[in-house]
Structure 1
């Protein structure tokens, strides 16, 4: 057994297009775009020669089955980034004040940065999660305060998880509380969150005489 701490005496390098095309397991209307999986034959082996104490290149196949150009390389995710420190600092400032994705994207294009819309989305999600979370928490707190101020009889409860984070927020309007007070045998289940996914259910439980 070769110890894990020892580097291998040879490595095989292949083209980034060298993987075989895999059949998509999805059955949606939009097929997956694996434009880089072309089974490109380009490869070579770098081997360490113990006798000569040097690296040797062997078994080279130096041809591609896809176009090679600077324009094609510019479309790869590894080559797309914000390379100008000044532009990156300004983008961070735009993220801090809640600028829209389209504004940030247009700004980057105006300053010759090689990015696409998806890169801006990832930038906002990865680089600034705290701002998004804080904005959401503040907006939720404002909505609950406005709900309580609209009517003194409006009620709200906030349940926390074991980790101390907000779990479930329950809201009851004054009208709902009055109806429940008069008809306690009536149970109303209102699933109002994301009603395009969850149906609004009304369950009636009437006593039998």
Structure 2
């Protein structure tokens, strides 16, 4: 929906120099009413800081999106939709990760992740306190592995961030033959001890690991001895 603004002008010399408007179109070329206005995303945004603070408190307290939507409607003049509430909560979550150090940001993200029932996150640090392995398993990932544990794929992706961490993804094949992630691990190095930790954390979250019949590995995965030890 686009309104076209048109102004035609010309210069007229009649003793003095003048600019004259010869044609002007400044009207809407579409219907204008409250229903149309409500379709614009900007019209449904919460700009009242007090209401936003209230939403933040409700979200931290575990209120669901329906209750938060009701709170916004009751305490502001906007009429948001459920997707607007989802976007607002996503923005507040991003803002909550604005910490001065990477360690604080990681802590906040992992706390949010594990606040969901069934989600697991583990951090392994070495003697110097450096994080060598961070593993993430959502409740859905664990359920998928319990349903399809027979074929396990371990895929490696390098240079995932500025610290050159490697991403090791554990995957299974579902009933449709599609790959589904069942664990993500960010590892600082590929030493046997680190990879052994990643496998231990996977087995901790997926107790039916003995049902694995086949393991498919990425060509970059070189520590076969670790897999032979972890999945005899």
TM-score (norm 2): 0.41
Larger radius of gyration: 1
More strand by share: 2
**Larger RCO: Structure 1 or Structure 2 (Cα < 8 Å, ≥ 6 residues apart)?**
2
TM-score (norm 1): 0.45
